[in-house]
Amino acid sequence: MAFIDGTALNVALPAVQAGLHASGAQLLWIVNAYLLMLAAFILVGGSLGDKYGRKKIFMLGIALFIVASLVCGISPSIQWMISARILQGIGGALMIPGSLAIISASLQPNRRGRAIGTWSAATTLVTVVGPVLGGILADHGLWRMVFLINPPLGMISLVALHFKVPESRDESSSGSIDYLGAGLLTIGLAGFTYGFISAPKLGFQNPLVLGTLLFGIFALVIFGFVESFREHPLVPFRLFKSRTFTGSNLLTLFLYGALSAVTFFLSLNLVQVQGYTKTEAGFAFLPFVIILISMSRWAGGLVDRSGPRLPLIIGPTLVGLGFFWMSFAGLTSGPSTYWTTFFPGIVLFGIGMGFTVAPLSTSVMSSVPTQHSGTASGINNAVSRTAGVLAIAIAGSIALFAFSNSLMSRTADLNLTDQARNALKAQAQNLSGATVPAGIGQENTSQVETSIKQAFVDTFRLVTILCAIMAWISAVAAAMLVEARLHPEPE
């Protein structure tokens, strides 16, 4: 459910924006409301699983995810949608850490690499239908079904878990759950996210924007301070004594932040600017998914044979090259040029992630004692989702500024009234969903439409170059910190 939901929604976002009349900032919140709850509470989900039973918490998360998906599917307004996405994020936070933790607790270290490779292949196999399904549903006006496909999948999962999966927990766990840490993390990330998403409209000098940014940073600092003194912290800093664990999470922060930003803006670019149908945009992602499926088990086995460092250097380097390639795609003539514009970059991106996903999961789970596998999975997932929250908030803020400036620059020579120019500037808050406002004049309509598309291409180029740099930083982190062979840190 989690993998299908993310990929299908990315392709359906243009339809969601149109269907619920969402602004660019609200579109960012549809994604970030979910990621924010995941980032803040996935650590609690891992800890709850270690203490009360990984299977039990896994099932509870699935049940909550089902309910939230139903609410998302029937949401009458953007406010309902964002609220339901918050609930869905909490369900995901309880659900997501469970599967990898159960695998790690059930298998010997020398078999985990291939097992996690199988896990990656299975989740990716399901993911393959996500973009295509999201595109087809959105093209037929059925984007709500992106959420409503979750309940039957969830029910099947609950039945399978009940009858087939054994319970496991950390028998030494006796402390309380760190809800204070989760609360501080939520407040910190929420303040940071709100500040960056609101800044393009209100300005960084606005007291509300500046105040929420400072308050968010203050809460995150207090979170780090509190965690270092708690007896049972949400984030056990002792796990970071392992260089591999530290390096793997640093890699995750930069690489998955870049991944979140690029996939978000690529979908908007293909559908709203390049003229792809939503189905065609879904198929555009298929090479990435197919390559990832094909490489997952092999890459997992590679870690068992030769360690994680080399694939974790090669993978992010190729991902960065893929992003950099896509930055050169200008305003194209549509899907007919896909093979020479976006396809090579997506292939490089897919090969890079194929080298990365299974080795990264294996290095995280095998660098800590088995009894902390749920917590380790939660930390790495939290880092991944935190990366998504921060990257989409910051990249979204940069994009809103860049798009508005580029649009104003590209229309500067047009003969527009002050009223028409102000209306156009207001439309810039919708990003690539901007439309030609009334009062532009028939003689300027075509030029403004082209300028909107070109301005978003400029914005997409800036975002992909920044994300390529982030991917290459993650490769450097792997080279400097991840050990050549896996040596779990002793308790």
Q: Are 32 and 161 within one domain?
A: yes
Q: Render pLDDT for 301-352 as a digit per residue (tens, 0 to 9).
A: 777 777 888 999 999 999 999 999 999 998 998 999 999 999 999 999 999 9
Q: How far from 208 is each of 203, 255, 320, 403, CA to CA, in Å? A: 10, 31, 35, 23
Residue 426 lies in a domain: no
The lowest-confidence range among 116-120, 174-178, 282-286 is 174-178
pLDDT value at residue 325: 96
Count of Cβ atoms closer than 10 Å to residue 13 Cβ: 25
Q: Are 368 and 279 within one domain?
A: yes
DSSP string, 159-175: HHHHHH------TT--S
Q: What percent of the chain has pLDDT over 70?
A: 95
Q: What are phi and psi of 5, to 5 degrees?
A: -60, -45
Q: Are 238 and 223 within one domain?
A: no
Q: Render pLDDT for 272-284 as a digit per residue (tens, 0 to 9).
A: 999 999 899 989 9
| Better pLDDT: 168 or 67 | 67
CB 374 within 8 A of CB 258: no
Scan for tokens 């309940």, then name that residue. Answer: 151
pLDDT value at residue 350: 92
SS3 content of the chain, % helix, strand, coil (to 5): 80, 0, 20
pLDDT value at residue 12: 87
Residue 487 lies in a domain: no
362 burial (CB, 10 Å; 0-12 / 13-18 / 19+) is buried
Residue 444 lies in a domain: no
Q: Please report, as a single letter, which amino acid is at residue 246.
A: T
Q: Which two tokens stand for residue 294?
A: 């094909």
Residue 430 lies in a domain: no
Domain extent at residue 191? 178-231
Q: Are 88 and 190 within one domain?
A: no
Q: Cα–Cα distance between 399 and 266 in angstroms, integer?
A: 13
Three-state SS across 112-142? HHHHHHHHHHHHHHHHCHHHHHHHHHHHCCC
Q: Are 102 and 210 within one domain?
A: no
Residue 131 lies in a domain: yes
Look at residues 186, 204, 231 and tell me which one is the last residue of a structural domain: 231
Kindly tell me the sign of the dihedral angle through the C-alpha atoms of 118, 170, 247, 6.
positive
Residue 173 lies in a domain: no
pLDDT greater than 60 at residue 490? no
Q: Cα–Cα distance between 317 and 232 in angstroms, integer?
A: 37
Q: Cα–Cα distance between 429 and 346 in angstroms, integer?
A: 28
pLDDT value at residue 444: 78
Q: How far from 391 is each of 79, 86, 255, 328, CA to CA, in Å? A: 23, 18, 10, 21
Residue 249 lies in a domain: yes
First-to-last alpha carbon distance for the chain, in angstroms, is: 34
Q: Are 238 and 98 within one domain?
A: yes
Q: Are 250 and 107 within one domain?
A: yes
Gyration radius of the chain over CA positions: 22
- What band does 71 get if pLDDT is binned at 50, 70 and 90? very high
Residue 80 lies in a domain: yes
Alpha helices in 21-149 (DSSP H): 24-52, 54-73, 78-106, 109-127, 129-139, 145-148
pLDDT greater than 60 at residue 491? no
- What band does 84 get if pLDDT is binned at 50, 70 and 90? very high
Q: Are 268 and 236 within one domain?
A: yes
Q: Are 52 and 112 within one domain?
A: yes
Q: What are phi and psi of 21, to 5 degrees?
A: 55, 50
- For residue 34, give the CATH number of its domain: 1.20.1250.20
- What band does 10 get if pLDDT is binned at 50, 70 and 90? confident
Q: Are 320 and 191 within one domain?
A: no
CB 36 within 8 A of CB 186: yes
Q: Cα–Cα distance between 161 and 186 in angstroms, integer?
A: 30
Q: Cα–Cα distance between 246 and 197 in angstroms, integer?
A: 29
Q: Render pLDDT for 468-484 as a digit per residue (tens, 0 to 9).
A: 999 999 999 999 998 87
What is the tally of structural domains in the chain? Answer: 2
Question: In the predicted model, what is the mean pLDDT of residues 198-217?
Answer: 87
CB 362 within 8 A of CB 244: no
Look at residues 231, 251, 275 and tell me which one is the last residue of a structural domain: 231
Scan for tokens 């979170």, then name that residue. Answer: 223
pLDDT value at residue 98: 79
Q: Cα–Cα distance between 188 and 289 in angstroms, integer?
A: 34
Q: Are 258 and 372 within one domain?
A: yes
Dihedral, CA atoms, 60, 156, 40, 79, nearest 10 degrees?
A: -100
Q: Are 219 and 273 within one domain?
A: no
